[in-house]
Amino acid sequence: MKFFHVKLLMVMSIAVAMLAFIACNGNKNNKLTQYGLVTVDSETHIYGQLHCAKADYIYLTHSAGTDSVLCNSEGFFSFKPNLTHPQYLKLKSHQHNLRLFIEPGQELSITANASNQQVPLSFEGSAAPANQYLAKKETFILKTEKAFGGLLALNQPEFTFKIDSLFYLQQSLLSQFVTNNADISEVFSKTETASLYYQNAARLYEYLLVNNRLKPDSAYFEFEIKLPQPDSAMLNDYDVLNGIKAQIEYYSMAWFTSKKKLEPYPHEKTLYKLAFIDSTYKNEAVKAGLFYRVITEYVHYFGYKNATGIFDYYTQHCPVLLQNEQLIQPYQYYMGLLQKAQAPAIIFEDADGNTVKLADFKNKYVYLNVWATWCQPCRQALPDFFELKSKFESSTLVFIALSVDDNRSKWASLLSTLDTDTGHYRCLYPEKFLTDYQIKNIPQYLLIAPDGRIAQMHAPAPGIAQQWFKSQDFLKPRP
């Protein structure tokens, strides 16, 4: 408890400093010439000097895309993004990752202060007040997060009291800032308010998940009543999105626990999350945005295995005009692979450097193990794969361990440590192969039929495949 009180005093001292900053700063519209001649007009201008390594790029991400510039030798940079509305942006370099806010036509100068670690960045220009607030807020959050881990071990009343105290302190800081900067964008004040509420919610949900308390009393959830209904722009705010994700995760785990299913399959959990989003969020653009994020996360980790129900739900419950083609088209292509008369061509090489094609194995079943030397689970599965090969390879069934390593020498080096290099091949165009087959993660195991079509996009893994192989007709010689 003494540790926490010391931390809380540190947090409060930072808060007092923030209040002093807020009280002394209005919305300055300084004309800046520190970095040479600057034209002040209706263009949005973000520029300044950061610590840059030689030939280091700086990236600015906004609603219209991502711009990039090359820092000069002294670290100067300049962006003139074409903005149509007030918004949050991300400025990223090798050493910096900044969250900014700017309105169309505003200026923002950013300078790295190498000599002042307490104030590592300074801001000037018409957009300076909002970004000074964001920088102070980031410092405040980093300080409080150091104490947050210890709070998770407290009993529920103590935890909620301390979390509520931090919330009200941050809320007063924001209120004071908005009062002293009356011309600040409504988008900024609205999003920052939502950010505080959802950051608080994320902590409260995390407490339940970490401590496996999935059935607290109803009074615990009073904070949910105060959560602002998000709009689509708010989904770009880290704290808002993190709070929503924590909410979805909590209710997902609580539901499966109530059904006594403690380890649901990933596709089952994803389907529940989609249903929860559909029933909880009424703003169609927000719903579409959350659908997209949940499905993208599933595809990233699990590919399209067992994804039919997920995409069916998406197309049935997401308004057609809001459906994301970047999400749907790859899935439709993947499903089309299974209907094609021929699997996409693959060109690979054997250990001696001889070129081999998938078509060379025509009239045979091919069990394809897609792996790489840098993938530890892939390497761990190799002994099981070659045990299968020794038991089941025949005149009608071939086993191929296909590496997608870009670096041939690393692949060859690993082969030199094995008892045999028979059955090992390296794909010559791995990026094209992975795209053609819509393979999102490895290891993945495919079965190619004798007529060249894909018989199984997700064949059983070697460790559990022996019984499956014994039951398949293709083990019998074809007439």
322-345, pLDDT tens digit by residue? Answer: 888 889 999 999 998 888 878 999
- Taking Cα atoms as reference points, which of 155, 237, 158, 233 lies closest to residue 202? 237
- Taking Cα atoms as reference points, which of 427, 404, 412, 409 lies closest to residue 357? 427
- The angle that helices 128-151 and 156-180 make with each other, rounded to 10 degrees, is 170
Mean pLDDT to the nearest integer, 167-179: 92
CATH code that applies to domain 347-475: 3.40.30.10
Q: What is the pLDDT of residue 418?
A: 84
Tell me which of 326 and 5 has the higher pLDDT. 326
> pLDDT digit string (tens) for 156-171?
999 999 899 989 989 9
Tell me which of 309 and 470 has the higher pLDDT. 309
Q: What is the pLDDT of residue 16?
A: 45
Mean pLDDT to the nearest integer, 122-143: 90
Q: What is the pLDDT of residue 253?
A: 93
Q: What is the pLDDT of residue 398?
A: 94
Tell me which of 28 and 435 has the higher pLDDT. 435
Residue extents of the structural domains in the chain? 33-125, 204-337, 347-475
pLDDT of 474 higher than 70? no
The Cα 242–Cα 202 span in angstroms is 7
Local confidence band at 116 (pLDDT 50, 70, 90 cut-offs): low
Share of the chain above pLDDT 70, in %: 88
The Cα 290–Cα 319 span in angstroms is 13
Cα of first residue to Cα of last residue in the chain, in angstroms, is 78
Do 234 and 194 form a contact (C-beta atoms < 8 A)? yes
Local confidence band at 233 (pLDDT 50, 70, 90 cut-offs): confident
Highest mean pLDDT among 118-127, 158-167, 243-252, 464-473: 243-252
Give 98-104's long-range contacts (Cβ < 8 A, gap of 24+). Answer: 99/134, 99/138, 99/238, 100/46, 100/127, 100/131, 100/134, 101/127, 101/130, 101/131, 101/134, 101/185, 101/188, 102/44, 102/46, 102/127, 102/130, 102/131, 103/44, 103/127, 103/185, 104/42, 104/44
The Cα 191–Cα 201 span in angstroms is 15
Tell me which of 430 and 338 has the higher pLDDT. 430
Q: What is the pLDDT of residue 36?
A: 35
Share of the chain above pLDDT 90, in %: 56
Q: What is the pLDDT of residue 248?
A: 96
pLDDT of 472 higher than 80? no
> pLDDT digit string (tens) for 269-283?
999 999 999 999 989
Fold classification of 33-125 is: Immunoglobulin-like (2.60.40)
Q: What is the pLDDT of residue 307?
A: 94
Q: What is the pLDDT of residue 410?
A: 93
pLDDT of 431 higher than 60? yes
The Cα 271–Cα 309 span in angstroms is 8
pLDDT of 110 higher than 50? yes
pLDDT of 28 higher than 50? no
pLDDT of 102 higher than 50? yes
> pLDDT digit string (tens) for 359-416?
999 999 999 999 999 999 999 999 999 999 998 998 889 999 999 999 999 999 999 8
Local confidence band at 52 (pLDDT 50, 70, 90 cut-offs): confident
pLDDT of 427 higher than 90? yes
Local confidence band at 473 (pLDDT 50, 70, 90 cut-offs): low
Query: Whole-prediction pTM value?
Result: 0.76
Query: How does the average pLDDT of the chain come out, rounded?
Result: 85
Do 397 and 475 form a contact (C-beta atoms < 8 A)? yes
Q: What is the pLDDT of residue 55?
A: 59
Tell me which of 433 and 479 has the higher pLDDT. 433
Q: What is the pLDDT of residue 449?
A: 92
The Cα 247–Cα 46 span in angstroms is 36
Local confidence band at 9 (pLDDT 50, 70, 90 cut-offs): very low
Residue 37: other Cβ atoms inside 10 A: 5
The Cα 458–Cα 368 span in angstroms is 10
pLDDT of 41 higher than 80? no
Q: What is the pLDDT of residue 42?
A: 64
Tokens at 443, concatenated: 């290891």
pLDDT of 461 higher than 80? yes
pLDDT of 123 higher than 70? yes
Residue 357: other Cβ atoms inside 10 A: 12
101-119 b/e (C-beta count within 10 Å ≥ 16 → b): bbbeebbbbbbbeeeeeee
